[in-house]
Amino acid sequence: MILGTVVGTLWATKKNPWLEDLKLVIVRPTYWYDPDHNVDHLVAVDQLDTRAGQQVVVCVGLPGRWRLGDDRYPVEATVAAIVDRIEMGSAAEVQ
Residue numbers at the binding site for another protein (CB under 8 A):
4-16, 18-19, 24, 26-32, 36-44, 52-53, 61-62, 72-77, 95
Exposure letters 4-21 (e unless 16+ CB within 10 A, then b): bbbeeeeeeeeeeeeeee
Q: State which residue, 44 or 80, has the beta carbon closest to another protein.
A: 44
Name the minimum Å distance from CB 81 to another protein.
16
Work out how close the CB of 13 gets to another protein at its nearest, in angstroms, rounded to a whole number. Answer: 6
Tell me how far apart the alpha carbons of residues 2 and 90 are, in angstroms, rounded to a whole number: 19
